[in-house]
Amino acid sequence: MAEKADVVFVDGVRTPFGRAGEKGQYWNTRADDLAVKAIIGLMERNPNVPKDRIDDVAIAATTQQGDQGLTLGRTAALLAGLPKSVPGFAIDRMCAGAMTSVTTLGAGIGFGQYDLAIAGGVEHMGRHPMGFGADPNPRFLAERLVSEDALNMGVTAERIHDRFPELTKERADRFAMRSQQKVAAAYAAGKIQPDLVPVAIRSETGWGLATEDEGMRPQTTMEGLATLKTPFRAHGRVTAGNASPLTDGATASLLASGDAVKEFGLSPKMRMVSFAFAGVEPEIMGIGPVPSTEKALRKAGLTIDDIGLFELNEAFAIQVLSLLDHFGIDDEDPRVNKWGGAIAIGHPLAASGVRLMIQLAAQFEEHPEVRYGLTAMCIGLGQGGSVIWENPHFNGKA
């Protein structure tokens, strides 16, 4: 029986994220082409990796239909020019699709069955709104397994505010404003751009090139956020300003075993330490990362104090704040989302998990004093996902 192998995050890239809908930059771009572009960009950055040695390709999508259907991992691999001998499959865990692609293939590497694998995700929310065409089993509601509004993510976010009154709208708005500011600062410092793969786009005015995220609003102010409508509830607290915008985009990552890293002379960016998924009440799905993070820490033999960098998906500001409060972490803690997050960048559901990893990997290189980092996110229908990573650049000096 094979011994457990090291699971290494070698590299990750993504397309710029575009606003969903007719005015978004990817309105005339196919979802699968976004995934293909990410895979091509990933392989071009890693010319030492023989294409025929990729053992599997997992590409996630939440709404698997139309140009987001047909076993994306296989079709995208073929379209990206990988040999026909390379297999592939599709994954759906809603918002944690790409994260699950990574943990699933990472587990295969850890078990000694894969040497190299590509894991990622895509979501074209303009073409495929979440839940569109789905037919939930009527027993979900009839047997009170879930409340009818549990399928509305904005309503579930309002419920976290209800449950934890100390998580105020003002705190959520301030966190959202800071996210916009941090993303703008990261762009100005050239932190985000190195891992973006430009995408050719077509509009009524002709062809162009998508080179940056489209949802950024760096001029956001607390005054402006205070005036926004609360679409999920009259006099509510969740707005378009303190939530992630509907977004299109794709991500792809290259995972390898420790042996493959040596064989092909690769440079590890992170090592997977542990991962965990957990379920919570669907009506308050945003607190999902709390139990999944506790579980991942327990499996790793670590505590929250061991985590030096956090990349938390900002589906809603309130969701991140609930995790920070649970673990006693300040809203402005500099370890958390150093370069901002999904409120400014966007959250193309099944693609986002790898975006978190890309940003954590880049920060690891800048912070050799940090040994461990966490990527975590809430997941629709009441789940959370967390992955703990080790910094290969760690120098032992905290």
The pLDDT tens digits of the residues spanning 102-141 come to 999 999 999 999 999 999 999 999 999 988 888 888 888 7
Residue 1: pLDDT over 70: no
Beta-carbon contacts of residue 225 (< 8 Å; ≥ 6 apart): 173, 176, 177, 239, 241, 242
Average pLDDT of the residues in 170-175: 98
Both tokens of residue 341?
């997050």
Whole-prediction pTM value?
A: 0.97
Please tell me the predicted confidence (pLDDT) of residue 145: 80
Is the separation of the CB atoms in 353 and 252 below 8 Å? no
Please tell me the predicted confidence (pLDDT) of residue 63: 94
- Within the chain, strands assigned E span 7-14, 18-19, 56-60, 88-91, 116-124, 199-203, 206-210, 247-257, 270-279, 307-312, 372-379, 383-390
Distance in angstroms (rounded) separating the CA atoms of residues 254 and 366: 20
Distance in angstroms (rounded) separating the CA atoms of residues 11 and 194: 12
Average pLDDT of the residues in 308-321: 98
Catalytic option among 95, 128, 161, 367:
95
Average pLDDT of the residues in 10-22: 97
Distance in angstroms (rounded) separating the CA atoms of residues 392 and 144: 47
Beta-carbon contacts of residue 217 (< 8 Å; ≥ 6 apart): 180, 344
Residue 341 pLDDT class (50, 70, 90 cuts): very high
Distance in angstroms (rounded) separating the CA atoms of residues 272 and 372: 10
Distance in angstroms (rounded) separating the CA atoms of residues 76 and 78: 5
What is the separation of C-alpha 341 from the centre of its chain, rounded to a whole number of angstroms? 10
The b-or-e profile of 11-36 (16+ CB within 10 A means b, else e) is bbbbbbbbbbeeebbbbebbbbbbbb
Please tell me the predicted confidence (pLDDT) of residue 59: 98
Please tell me the predicted confidence (pLDDT) of residue 259: 97
Residue 398 pLDDT class (50, 70, 90 cuts): low
Please tell me the predicted confidence (pLDDT) of residue 280: 96
What is the separation of C-alpha 203 from the centre of its chain, rounded to a whole number of angstroms? 27
Catalytic option among 128, 161, 367, 378:
378
Average pLDDT of the residues in 10-26: 97
Strands 199-203 and 206-210, bridge-based pairing = antiparallel
Asked if 378 is an active-site residue, the reply is yes
DSSP state, residue 96: G
Asked if 95 is an active-site residue, the reply is yes
Distance in angstroms (rounded) separating the CA atoms of residues 40 and 37: 5
Q: Read off the pLDDT of residues 189-242 as tens digits, 9 standing for 90 and up.
A: 999 999 999 999 998 889 999 999 998 999 999 999 999 999 999 999 999 999
Average pLDDT, the chain: 95
Distance in angstroms (rounded) separating the CA atoms of residues 171 and 153: 19
Residue in 332, 282, 350, 355 with CA at minimum distance from that of residue 68: 350
Asked if 393 is an active-site residue, the reply is no
Distance, first Cα to last Cα, the chain: 38
Please tell me the predicted confidence (pLDDT) of residue 3: 66
Please tell me the predicted confidence (pLDDT) of residue 4: 81
Please tell me the predicted confidence (pLDDT) of residue 19: 97
Residue in 39, 97, 45, 11 with CA at minimum distance from that of residue 361: 11
Q: Read off the pLDDT of residues 68-83 as tens digits, 9 standing for 90 and up.
A: 999 999 999 999 999 9
Q: Which residue has the tokens 């599709």?
A: 90
CA torsion through residues 162, 167, 173, 178, sign: negative
Please tell me the predicted confidence (pLDDT) of residue 136: 84
Residue in 273, 277, 357, 378 with CA at minimum distance from that of residue 309: 357
Catalytic option among 124, 128, 347, 367:
347
Backbone angles phi, psi at 375, to 5 degrees: -115, 130
Please tell me the predicted confidence (pLDDT) of residue 2: 54
Residues above pLDDT 70, as percent of the chain = 99
Is the separation of the CB atoms in 62 and 97 below 8 Å? yes
